[in-house]
């Protein structure tokens, strides 16, 4: 009985995934600061022309989230329910919006109890 209870708990944990933590935004801003600082210190424009676009792309991508066809998502703004989003590309505010993605696919489970024949 305890084995099936543990299996049910582990399968229930896989249904909700949290997406979008804001690490991309922080990393993009750091790249922008580093590229400008290196340009000012060394006067070599190569670092500015390479790191600046990478930082901008990271910042823009932190505002976008992609929901797969078999998922639905709930947006929590500062922990309060804001809206439900369907599959596709959507925008969010990094570090403020938490996106909880729920897998709606059916999963087949076998019976784990032992039966005497």
- Look at residue 114 and tell me if it is in a domain: no
Sequence length of the chain is: 117
Region of 95 please: left (phi>0), alpha (psi -120 to 50) or beta.
Answer: left
Residue range of the domain that includes 88: 2-103
- Look at residue 117 and tell me if it is in a domain: no
- Look at residue 108 and tell me if it is in a domain: no
pTM summary value: 0.66
pLDDT tens-digit readout, 25-77? 899 999 889 888 888 888 877 777 888 888 899 889 889 999 999 899 999 99
- Look at residue 113 and tell me if it is in a domain: no
Q: How confident is the model at residue 9 (pLDDT cuts 50, 70, 90)?
A: very low
* Rounded-to-integer distance, Cα 10 and Cα 7, Å: 5
The number of folded domains in the chain is 1
List all residues 6 or more positions away from 62 whose beta carbon is below 8 Å from its beta carbon.
20, 22, 24, 25, 28, 94
- Look at residue 83 and tell me if it is in a domain: yes
- Look at residue 79 and tell me if it is in a domain: yes
């Amino acid at each position: 009985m305890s084995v099936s209870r543990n299996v049910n708990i582990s399968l229930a944990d896989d249904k909700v995934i949290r997406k979008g933590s804001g690490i991309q935004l922080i990393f993009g801003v750091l790249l922008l600061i580093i590229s400008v600082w290196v340009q000012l210190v060394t006067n070599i424009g190569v670092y500015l022309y390479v790191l600046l676009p990478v930082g901008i792309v990271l910042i823009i991508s932190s505002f976008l989230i992609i929901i797969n066809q078999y998922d639905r998502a709930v947006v929590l703004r500062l922990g309060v329910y804001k809206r439900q989003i369907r599959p596709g590309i959507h925008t969010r505010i990094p570090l403020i919006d938490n996106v909880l993605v729920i897998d709606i696919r059916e999963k087949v489970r076998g019976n784990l109890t032992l039966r005497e024949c």
